[in-house]
Structure 1
């Protein structure tokens, strides 16, 4: 099912978020094709723009200035976003093979996966040099390099590669490192070297362009070695092949000729001698009518192309048009690269040198010109146009309802309905509707009690595999909160109607994700029910087992205990932000990762450290579930707001007024807070009521064991686990919950 509600008839899978594919997404977002579903599979969720990378290294740009955020872009395009790494293709069955998830089927496939520096041809390069690509990995390595330089452990930086990329990178590095050293008052020498290879510096560019850069290198004191190749890389040096011997270096960066992704060799696609994908003039893979490719990963059959972002950018509109033409049976048009592209290369500072058609110019104004061009390009993807107006009979965008636990009924509505029910009496029911808890508890007559729970909700993301993991993890949370071990589960799955093969693929992916979580917890999936519906949805009825003396309840809090929370809050607001195209990809990814962390190990750690009362924080938010605990325990509680862990982006989105559709009902519980008018002015206030999907456990732990408990939780992978408050005696007639801004607040 596509975002507009129409069934998916054709699947277009884009592998890689390169310069061409981001344009495909934008153009399909501007003009959707009925029945066509796009899926973007990318390891890099914030895809770097190569034109601004040197400026980012030099310190002229922030991370978000120089990266295209794939989450809002995919949302705009109506595309599914899968954060994963592709490892191969099954061309016969039209499947994309991924490192983590099940194979992804396609009708049309497009590759825009870039290239990487070739470190394999030189002994020691892979072990001792830092490749510049993939860029996301390089940025982390650059920060580590920078820290070593500032600490005085590295002072000799060497770049291998005399093309425009290597020159621009070294000048940006040198500018940034000298500026940073000066800011610390460190006047120690910084030595920079460029090894330009056998063909020399900038061999593909005009003589005047090259001479200007030679002059820049000389003025900056950067050593230049030309006319020799690197024969080997050793720890702390490179060895040249012309007898000049070793060139010492503390940091060696590699920007030489590109090499393709290794997995392409096993795909069966037609490749050139170097392993790049051969494409014809229409960017279609040689010999295939269902595979396209663009960018640095291609070998353009009509004539060789430089591996430059300039050509990938120009190929984007042609690629988008030809994918559309292939889907609709129209004629494909050829890609005609420009004969002489404009090249603007910065020199580290806000100064640049440009060349085209043999003309070379330089100056600060050239850098400003480049900056204007680059920012204009980035605005097309990071400042997206308004979404196309929905049909007149479609629900308004501001009336969109959340999925996940944000789709639950409010606590007051639920309480009124359940209060009117009179279940059949059954002496075997130990915990039921008369004294509700996280799960029902039923007598078995043996040493173990049976614990039962059920959860079911609409998908909050358009990735069925990950949604299956989250739904199963969420359903298991109630079992873990009761101190029980999951035993069996029944699934209730709803899949949107559509093409039989696509329905089967989505159901298989969703159940595969869910079953992986259930298996890891020792819970057997024993059956269930499937059906068609308007939206993807999944739920589980889970049965667990617990020894009588190990049963955990909400009502076990004791004054003097501290409150331990195992996960950060904010899933509701981040997912709501994603629905509106406002959540950054890294915020969404952090939220999805958190929702996939199981609570079973955390429950065991909490119990081992003396937890006396426990619940899982889900749809009613942190305050709603804490109110349930205080009511059942007859106590009060004090929360310290600056100790409550919050997911990345949740504060920013809440400050912009983004909220889950369940938040207004959850806010009715503000009456449980002392001085609510004062509390509502606190920036954290809405997040306390934010509905959580697959949220963490909240437990009361003896104060003297709290530090050891949190240490054990962090060691087990719950990095955000924290003591967030204290259990207090309940004052008669007073609201049970007190808020403090910080531990130091009076």
Structure 2
């Protein structure tokens, strides 16, 4: 997790990953503003570039060629990336309300979420049509559409499938031609007749592409005719049902698939805010891109409507608003005058025809041909390179990192100035480094720990320590874990840290009872420190409460980096005098003939090492965090139910290290099938690139435990045996005859990549206890 060079004084929050916001991130990356923290809230990690989306649909580009990796771009910019969806604004509290996380405070807010299809305006369209916008969701819909059209039978005419596109603007025409190119090609590759597909275009206007000149319209009219597209002008669609649509004249038109590319509007949640909206639900902004009703909130791209400069919705405006938006956000946060942005009256539109040919349109200008496509391709690739391939050549972190911190230009009041001076001054050690009592009490005041009757004195009591009763017939299980943040989202980090700490308790077969937290938080204004503590502990508490574990206290101090750990107490049925009960799962319980089961995929060490170096794709990190936030509680119970006799959770020592810890006290050998290892997406790629965790060299020293180790060093999965895990899965041994049932049960519980990865054998003559195989060979 990158730490700012100076204390955080102000927060700029960006809602949405549209073209304007990627420009803002890039400009702040190249010229950071000391004391200002950027946070991007977006539900999707990869955002498509609209200019290349038709080429992707037509099959000319790959997914990664047309998508900007927002998590990676935010990492480069030193911004926090919160993977979530904004659902509202609390104007009084100055926070953004999100779907699945605590509210996010802001000092300046910018909204760039694009438009939303108005399918609710036409009966049945929401249920039976595929909307193209918002385009961040279109890929899943498009892939499903390809699957249906190339593998399913049509409803109406055997051997013919009708595809209807509703919307006669440039977007609808361009998308139809791209879809036609791709789908006909797919059928031809299957040895089928491409003429099985019949395309129809519906528009309520009297002509297609109404905002373009006559020669451009004639070109596309001719192209549609040549490609045998049925064109229905002056045909307003008023209703949609399964397999057909109805026009305003009352006629019904058959259609096996319906794609919706009509005008869109603003997101519904904006209507519940105080923002002034136009008739279509877009945020009305002035020349400085500030909301007419709240100057602390900006908007850009399709979601914004500049009242003094009415323009159609086009990606070119969103791209060009990036620079003035960044400049005005910077000016607003530092108390300087804002500058007006006046969009151009005319702009160049390059519209593709699906087959690597395109048309240039600007005012009365009309140009067409394959060379226009090559021109468009060059422009689009150059734009994308600024956010993709050029990042590959950069240092692991922004160039400003490590330089002497510049003084902040943020305007502060008297009290804030005193706090800022204190935050950057030489800080005290010892108890002087504790977070202030008022800050801590405010941050924790709304947190409600899981109630347990054994808690006599808990979190919200003013006493110096917690008092907890040990229930009769129970033994205590104790563990402690602590590490610094490796991601920039304190809420998600709190979840992972709590899951990591609870793993030891569940692996032993115990239930979690209480937890005591220890945290360090970077210095800053009290409000910023308070929110960081709250976000982190809110995430942790959700995990603890779900596990039935009560947070009873802790200690929070200041430090250079965000860090969190827990001392967790658990309960297990008591055994006899100084004896272990049978319900305790220890590492020494492996038995010959048992199967080894791993409940989660491995690879967190290499992936987050790559993330810190801008070498991991955002979707890889998303998937890894999903697994890290998954509790081991149900998995542990499932393993016990299926006769597990030994168990451990995978953490810093990696798979091999933890397995060696199990074989030694058990007096057995073990065999691992490298082909069977469940891996996180991207782990093999980052390992192959030589990106390894800093703990990897220490773990590799255990290679001497591998029989015939030299024969396996070149195997692509070999390095992952030593990869340290954070909040990893459970490694357990179960009777071989029950392994398949156990695995099925784990899958049903949500451990979708749980796998049988090896076997336990009686100790052999070889000194090395671990043998490797590759079942795929």
Is TM (by shorter chain) over 0.5? yes
Q: Which residue of 1 aligns with 2:184?
A: 178
Q: Which residue of 1 aligns with 2:399?
A: 388
Q: Distance in 1 between matches of 2:137 and 2:300?
A: 22
Q: Which residue of 1 aligns with 2:739?
A: 706
Query: For the structure 1 residues 532 and 321, does the alpha-carbon distance in structure 2 shift closer, same or farther, using more than 3 Å as the test?
Result: same
CA positional deviation for 1:253: 0.6
CA positional deviation for 1:518: 0.5
The question of 1:452 aligning with 2:478 is answered yes
The question of 1:693 aligning with 2:735 is answered no
Q: Which residue of 2 aligns with 1:737?
A: 770
Please say if residues 175 and 348 of structure 1, whose CA atoms lie closer than 8 Å, have aligned partners that are also in contact.
yes
Q: Distance in 2 between matches of 1:391 and 1:618?
A: 30
For the residue of structure 2 that corresponds to 1:534, the secondary structure is coil
For the residue of structure 1 that corresponds to 2:351, the secondary structure is strand
Residue pairs, 1:59-78, within 5 angstroms:
59-78=59-78
Query: 1:580-610: per-residue Cα shift (whole Å, max 9, x none)?
Result: 1111110010011010000000000000011
Identify the match of residue 277 of structure 1 among 267, 275, 283: 283
For the residue of structure 1 that corresponds to 2:357, the secondary structure is strand
CA positional deviation for 1:744: 5.2
Query: For the structure 1 residues 340 and 532, does the alpha-carbon distance in structure 2 shift closer, same or farther, using more than 3 Å as the test?
Result: same
The question of 1:159 aligning with 2:165 is answered yes
Q: Distance in 2 between matches of 1:498 and 1:444?
A: 40
Q: Which residue of 1 aligns with 2:102?
A: 102
CA positional deviation for 1:178: 0.5
Please say if residues 276 and 291 of structure 2, whose CA atoms lie closer than 8 Å, have aligned partners that are also in contact.
yes
The question of 1:463 aligning with 2:463 is answered no
Q: Which residue of 1 aligns with 2:601?
A: 568
Q: Which residue of 1 aligns with 2:234?
A: 227
Query: For the structure 1 residues 42 and 392, does the alpha-carbon distance in structure 2 shift closer, same or farther, using more than 3 Å as the test?
Result: closer
Q: Distance in 2 between matches of 1:265 and 1:177?
A: 39
Task: Return 5+ residue gaps in structure 2 as ranges.
Answer: 155-160, 406-468, 574-580
For the residue of structure 2 that corresponds to 1:727, the secondary structure is strand
Task: Return 5+ residue gaps in structure 1 as ranges.
Answer: 395-442
Residue pairs, 1:579-658, within 5 angstroms:
579-658=612-691
Q: Distance in 1 between matches of 2:311 and 2:627?
A: 43
Q: Which residue of 2 aligns with 1:300?
A: 306
Q: Which residue of 2 aligns with 1:117?
A: 117
CA positional deviation for 1:117: 2.0
Q: Distance in 2 between matches of 1:668 and 1:392?
A: 36
Query: 1:446-483: per-residue Cα shift (whole Å, max 9, x none)?
Result: 43221110111111111010000000000000000000
Identify the match of residue 571 of structure 2 among 534, 545, 550: 545
Q: Distance in 1 between matches of 2:676 and 2:617?
A: 24
For the residue of structure 2 that corresponds to 1:631, the secondary structure is helix
Q: Distance in 2 between matches of 1:152 and 1:455?
A: 53
Please say if residues 564 and 724 of structure 1, whose CA atoms lie closer than 8 Å, have aligned partners that are also in contact.
yes
Query: For the structure 1 residues 730 and 255, does the alpha-carbon distance in structure 2 shift closer, same or farther, using more than 3 Å as the test?
Result: same
Q: How many residue pairs are counted as aligned between the two chains?
A: 695
CA positional deviation for 1:101: 0.4
Q: Which residue of 1 aligns with 2:220?
A: 213
CA positional deviation for 1:389: 5.2
CA positional deviation for 1:288: 2.2
Query: 1:669-716: per-residue Cα shift (whole Å, max 9, x none)?
Result: 111111222221111111111110000000011111111000000000
For the residue of structure 2 that corresponds to 1:100, the secondary structure is coil
Of stretches 353-362 and 310-319 in structure 1, the one that deviates more from structure 2 is 353-362
Please say if residues 71 and 583 of structure 1, whose CA atoms lie closer than 8 Å, have aligned partners that are also in contact.
no
Q: Which residue of 2 aligns with 1:531?
A: 557
Q: Which residue of 1 aligns with 2:429?
A: none
Q: Distance in 1 between matches of 2:489 and 2:325?
A: 25
Q: Which residue of 2 aligns with 1:3?
A: 3
Q: Which residue of 1 aligns with 2:455?
A: none
Alpha carbon RMSD of aligned pairs, Å?
1.5
Q: Distance in 2 between matches of 1:710 and 1:717?
A: 11
Q: Distance in 1 between matches of 2:52 and 2:400?
A: 33
For the residue of structure 2 that corresponds to 1:326, the secondary structure is helix
For the residue of structure 2 that corresponds to 1:64, the secondary structure is helix
Identify the match of residue 316 of structure 1 among 300, 309, 322: 322
Q: Distance in 1 between matches of 2:24 and 2:309?
A: 24
Please say if residues 107 and 296 of structure 2, whose CA atoms lie closer than 8 Å, have aligned partners that are also in contact.
yes
Residue pairs, 1:485-500, within 5 angstroms:
485-500=511-526
Q: Which residue of 2 aligns with 1:405?
A: none
Of stretches 673-682 and 253-262 in structure 1, the one that deviates more from structure 2 is 673-682
For the residue of structure 2 that corresponds to 1:349, the secondary structure is coil
Q: Which residue of 2 aligns with 1:132?
A: 132
Structure 2 length as normaliser, TM-score? Answer: 0.88
For the residue of structure 1 that corresponds to 2:147, the secondary structure is helix
Please say if residues 3 and 560 of structure 2, whose CA atoms lie closer than 8 Å, have aligned partners that are also in contact.
no
CA positional deviation for 1:116: 2.0
